[in-house]
Amino acid sequence: MAYRRFSLFPESPTLRDIFSKRAIRYHWRDNGPVFCAAIAIICIAIWLIELLLSIVSPSALNALVNFGAIQPMLAVSRPWTFITSMFLHQPTSILHILFNMLTLWSVGPMLERLMGHWPFLALYMLSGIGGGMGMMLWGALAPGQAGWFTAAYGASGALFGLFAAVLIVYRRVGADITSMLVWMVINFLMPVVVSNVAWQAHLGGYIAGFAIAWAVTPTRNHHFRGFD
């Protein structure tokens, strides 16, 4: 006699089902959130490593953050930090990674479906780089030299690029963006109520995302997959 495996959720897929090659191929063909999920997984995995290092080896954590965070004074000689800084988050607080990943998952999947996988990835990465450029511009324009020595990390610059893309893409498909405006307002007000928020990266990412989305998003009469 065969027995079924006990499960509190017998109809729910297993992790093997979710991350199987077949599932990934299906989501790729269906314009599912393949890159969006990959970005979230990478960010969470790196944050868990940071959290572990903060407990077992604070010096190793400092070395990791110093290697990956973007600092305007050193960015030209350390160009990889334009990329690596997007995937680092504050290890001593879960709120930084939690809020950013919730924001990513609130706007990313639909954008990836509408824009396509590679345009979405390009938008995300270039918006994050734009956030780094915003930090550098502030370092050059800010009074004194403080801006040059301010290190920053986090996905916020890239996420603000997604916000800008939402305004353009949703407008061109005629979709309602009311629900998205809630996340936008919360994020735009964050530097007002929370200290040590790199608003310069937010602004740089937003401008970059706006320009990229405007350039690559088809006109209103184009049929977007996911909106009939």
Please determine, for residue 151, whether its predicted confidence score (pLDDT) is greater than 90.
no
Lookup: tokens for 161 = 């690029």
Report the C-alpha gap between 212 and 12 in whole angstroms: 38
Tell me whether residue 84 is in a domain: yes
* Rounded average pLDDT over 205-227: 75
Tell me whether residue 10 is in a domain: no
Residue 144 — left, alpha, or beta (φ > 0 → left; ψ -120 to 50 → alpha)?
Answer: left
Domain hosting residue 39, numbered range: 16-216
CATH number, residue 28:
1.20.1540.10
Render pLDDT for 86-105 as a digit per residue (tens, 0 to 9).
Answer: 999 999 889 899 989 998 99
Tell me whether residue 173 is in a domain: yes
What pLDDT does 39 receive? 96
Percent of the chain surpassing pLDDT 90: 49
Instruction: Evaluate whether 127 touches 208 at the Cβ level (below 8 Å).
Output: yes
Percent of the chain surpassing pLDDT 70: 82
Report the C-alpha gap between 51 and 89 in whole angstroms: 10
Domain count within the chain: 1
Please determine, for residue 66, whether its predicted confidence score (pLDDT) is greater than 90.
yes
Nearest to 127 by CA among 168, 182, 164: 164
Lookup: tokens for 88 = 């680092």
* Longest CA pairwise span in the chain (Å): 78
What pLDDT does 8 receive? 37
pTM > 0.85: yes or no: no
Tell me whether residue 139 is in a domain: yes
Report the C-alpha gap between 149 and 14 in whole angstroms: 46
Tell me whether residue 228 is in a domain: no
Tell me whether residue 1 is in a domain: no
What pLDDT does 6 receive? 37
Tell me whether residue 47 is in a domain: yes
Please determine, for residue 11, whether its predicted confidence score (pLDDT) is greater than 70.
no
Tell me whether residue 6 is in a domain: no
User: 173 exposed, middle or buried (CB, 10 Å; 0-12, 13-18, 19+)?
Assistant: middle
What pLDDT does 198 receive? 80
